[in-house]
Amino acid sequence: MKITVLVLGTRGDVQPFIALAIALQRRGHEVRVATSRGFADMVAHSGVRHVPVSADYEEWFQSEEGIRWMAGSDNTARFMRMLAGEGVGIDSRLKPRMHRELLAACEGADAIVANLVIEDSAACIAEKLQVPFIPGYTMPMLPTSEFPSPFLSAHKLPLRAMNRLTHSLLETFYWQGQKRLINAWRAELGLPPTAISMREKLWRTGAPILHCYSSHLVPRPSDWSAANVITGPWTMPADVGVNAGGVPSPELIRWLDEGPPPIYLGYWRLPLMDKAGMLRLAIEVANTLGVRFAIGASWSAEEIAALRVPESIFITRSVDHDWLFARCSATVHHGGAGTTAATLRAGLPTVICSICNDQPFWGNRVTALGVGYSMPFKQLTAARLTQALRHIQDGAVRARANRLGEQMRREDGTATAVRIIEERLPGAPLLS
């Protein structure tokens, strides 16, 4: 088949779909990936054809505007206002150009696969071209009575009906903010307007929906239909992973070899304006516990050079998580689905400092499973991080994290996703 993969977002959103594209291509399918230009190198290392898209969420989240947004995005009311039209990530004026790029990428395709960020726009294209469409979710998105929407609550609500209601509320607010742009795009495609979101239209068709996370982290809800498949995470093949995910520098390799396994501290997605302050926090914790920190950050070489970094700290830019985590003793990060999965697959206990969206949900899951500790980022202090790291260094926590890692490493989510696509795409119901 000729398959186009449409994926936008940050690295945690994009990398699993590149892994899926590699697996599909190695099965003999003709695959292209349409994503932001910032991921051109990652796609190039995969050997899959890249179609560049103007919108760049990764760049936006590293901008001052993106940092400010993250700093205030833990407020649920503000998040709902954003869904209802405030917008996040890219300027709405870019969307017409982005839509044309996505359409061009899908010309001649036999099927379209897309992620949550671009799902509605991609589904419109699939309806126009009358080809099957499969969404992939890195978190549980479909309505269920067993737990609330990961975007609205990290904890189960008292009544099952209340859990399901949160999913409906999220979809309603989301569609209120998107329907004007989506119906304008549908008009440009020559399609009639829709009163419901493309996501809801898709759910109603019964077409296959893939969930690329582990059922060991989130068991499959009993009230989901057979159309919904939890595949396990989509991971890069070993012969591509390090090159695509970020090659470690000789300096990082030497630093790792010179001491005990460090704790990974991911600053990539934390709303940082005060870099020196966060470095002081890491130094204080390292001195108190006698540990080393490998800090993953988007800081420039000039910014790092201006800081006084002790031998117990190493600051690195993008590096493959699977490679690095195999050399670490624990992780501290924002709780994105991708980083959480990579940590637990490596068998490491983790501290999640959640900011927004689904991050508190994943923080709650690692806490419930006894493999980590979670707190809101706004509560992060040296004292609290020290307490959290002491908690996850407990032998029982480490043993549970190790067992979970073994279970997750036995999953082959990418192969499962490819099998479902090959089995269910022919004859899959089309959007109309």
What does the alpha-carbon distance between residue 234 and residue 337 come to, in Å, rounded to a whole number? Answer: 11
242-409 and 2-233+411-424 share a CATH fold = yes
Q: How many residues does the chain have?
A: 432
pLDDT at 86: 44
Higher-confidence residue of 267 and 226: namely 226
Beta strands in 179-274 (DSSP E): 209-211, 228-230, 263-266
Q: Of all residues in the chain, what percent carry a pLDDT higher than 90? A: 66
pLDDT at 77: 52
pLDDT at 404: 98
pLDDT level of residue 270 (50, 70, 90 thresholds): low
pLDDT at 74: 54
Checking if the pLDDT of 57 tops 80, the result is: no
Q: What is the pLDDT of residues 96-115, one digit of tens each?
A: 888 999 999 999 999 999 99
Q: Give the up-direction half-sphere exposure of residue 192: CA atoms within 13 A in the CB hemisphere.
A: 5
Q: What's the pTM value of the predicted model, to 2 decimals?
A: 0.92
What does the alpha-carbon distance between residue 138 and residue 417 come to, in Å, rounded to a whole number? Answer: 13
Which residue in the block uniquely carries the two structure tokens 């923080």?
363
Give the helix ranges, DSSP H, for 39-159: 40-46, 57-61, 64-72, 76-81, 95-106, 119-129
Angle at the Cα of 217 from the Cα atoms of 392 and 382, rounded to 5 degrees? 30
Higher-confidence residue of 177 and 374: namely 374
Give, for 225, the enclosing helix (H) or strand (E): none
* Domain topology for 242-409: Rossmann fold (3.40.50)
Give the helix ranges, DSSP H, for 290-394: 301-305, 321-325, 337-345, 359-368, 382-392
Annotated domain spans of the chain: 2-233+411-424, 242-409
pLDDT at 91: 57
pLDDT at 59: 73
Residue type at position 257 = D
Q: What is the pLDDT of residues 145-202, one digit of tens each?
A: 999 999 888 888 999 999 999 999 888 888 888 888 899 999 999 999 999 988 889 8
Provide the 3-class DSSP secondary structure of residue 34: strand
List the CATH code of the domain at 2-233+411-424: 3.40.50.2000
Assigned token pair, 183: 């119906």
Q: Are 350 and 392 in contact (CB under 8 A)?
A: yes
Closest CA to 18 of 208, 326, 245, 343: 245
